[in-house]
Amino acid sequence: MRRSRTTRRYRGNYFYRDGQKLPLVKLPDAFALRLREGRLPAELRAWTREGERLPPVALEKAYGRQRVTTYRVRGAAAARDRAMDALRRDGRTQYCTHVYRRRRARAPDPLILTDEIVVQFKPDLTRGALRRLCRERGIVRVEPIPGLENGYLCRVTAQAGENALKVANRLYEAGLALAAEPNFLRRLARRGAALGPARRRGGRGRPGRGPVVPNDPLFPRQWHLHNTGRNGARAGADVRALAAWKVTTGSRRVTIAVIDDGFDLGHPDLRERGKVVAPYDFGEDDPDPSPGLGDAHGTACAGVATAVGGNRVGVTGIAPRCRLMPIRIPLDGLDEAAIARAFRWAAEHGAAVISNSWGPPDGTGFKEPLPLIVRAAIDRAVEKGRKGRGCIICFAAGNGDEPVDLDGYASYPKVLAVAATTDQDRRAWYSDYGRAISVAAPSSGGRNGIWTTDVRGRRGYNPQGDWTGEFGGTSAACPLVAGIAALVLSVNPWLTAAEVQQVLEATADKVDPRGGCYDARGHSPFYGYGRVNAARAVHEAEARRLRRP
């Protein structure tokens, strides 16, 4: 029987995720290597085995927790294959594998295969049958996956005779598992950086009067909190922070977890006694989430949500009294199992709100389903976090001016997808759109960017200072909504995660009524249920608390 063109094209180079068969192609000049012990060499130009000299190979990237290094080969695929064959025969090699990317991607998005797979076995398998199956297939169960029935993170051994991609495919295609997918190492995209306009010169302005107006010198420039029309902004295009702070500036009992690329915890607007709880770095597996070179994104996101207010320094966050749980994941490369551990860590260590200003790269042109192991971790946090009331999980919608449905993280029904508006109270041109958008929040794209904390010194967005006014994208909108959710819980901690989402959506302002394309339910593909209004949200939360029996 003659095979179809589709079958021939996808043969061998594909994987399954969320019930979909997703085709892959091998990068012709790259491979990944993991040693059994010791440090990875800086380069392998002169590495020989049994008198065989390897083709010229250059180090590209090293990944800490997985101890995997990717290399580029000077030459065609044949040179890559010679190098891989020699390395596989070397006793120091644990595994050596190809590097893939999604087929027909408009932008390169390398997927690095590890020796781990995520498997949800069929429920009718007995313990004995499961042990025999693992032994026959050459896999070892490393750990169960919380929240996923019969789900395990498994390691593929040399006895399998195949790489993790093929082992996972065979388990799924043989009907031995409900789901089986590789634990890829991959790059995640920051949902904003210096997307605002060039920094404008001018005086700092005079802090407002009254007990709820922060004395932080840069607060007058934080138009997203209180917009007076400065620098060409539209007065009132803000989240009504001053009115919300008359009710609460946050509670120490409410913790906002920010999962991002690193945090400068010595920053004066993040350094306060009792402010930081349960920090962790899932790239290096240690409790120090300090940023690496070029990692200024997390510090900026943390400042938008919960920078210390009223300390006569810099800026203030929307929820300045709430605690911060900084969780570092290196966005330039981390395996999906580690991302799931980050969510589990946040929920198990008391986070009420989890902010995520990252996701799959924009502009690839194809849908990126949510990994099974990450979905299980999100489900568990939403259902079991906060002693059963559930964590509120916010995701930046994305900056590709494309359907948010392409992003399996932000479009997942159990999270809040946050779009961006400008200082003119209109949709930011880059903001993703679609049915999954929950709410929108102010960010860059108009005449002004977002003022927030920056990595100190020359490694941040602003090499001349410790604060930046150029932060933006849906990256800035997401922690702003997360901070408002924390204010809601500060007033009414008995609300469930679903109820907090209801409060945020029900109290949002219907901006741009003509161009927003709101439907009969009051939902817009560009703004969700509207631009968040912190004052109305905390008042509604307070009213629900008073009505609580």
Alpha carbon of residue 508 to chain centroid: 24
Contact (CB, 8 A) for 430 and 391: no
Instruction: With H, G, I as helix, E, B as strand and everything else as coil, classify residue 458.
Output: helix
Residues annotated as part of the active site: 260, 297, 475
CA atoms within 13 A on the CB side of 246: 8
Handedness of CA 470, 472, 477, 483 (dihedral sign): negative
CA distances from 386 to 151, 353, 381, 389, 512 (A): 24, 9, 8, 5, 36
Both structure tokens of 148: 């996923």
Among 240, 198, 209, residue whose Cα is nearest residue 222 = 240
The per-type count for the chain, helices as H runs and strands as E runs, is 11, 25
Q: Are 226 and 238 in contact (CB under 8 A)?
A: yes
Which H helix or E strand runs over 20? Answer: strand 20-35
Nearest to 29 by CA among 89, 65, 70: 70
Question: For the chain, what is the radius of gyration of the CA atoms?
Answer: 24
Residue 213's contacts (CB-CB under 8 Å, 6 or more residues apart) are: 207, 219, 242
Q: Tell which residue, 412, 404, 397, 401, has the closest CA to residue 474.
A: 397
CB neighbour list of residue 262: distance below 8 Å, 6 or more residues apart: 281, 289, 290, 291, 292, 295, 297, 298, 299, 328, 330
C-alpha to C-alpha distance for 337 and 333, rounded to whole angstroms: 12
Check: CB of residue 283 under 8 Å from CB of residue 329.
Answer: yes
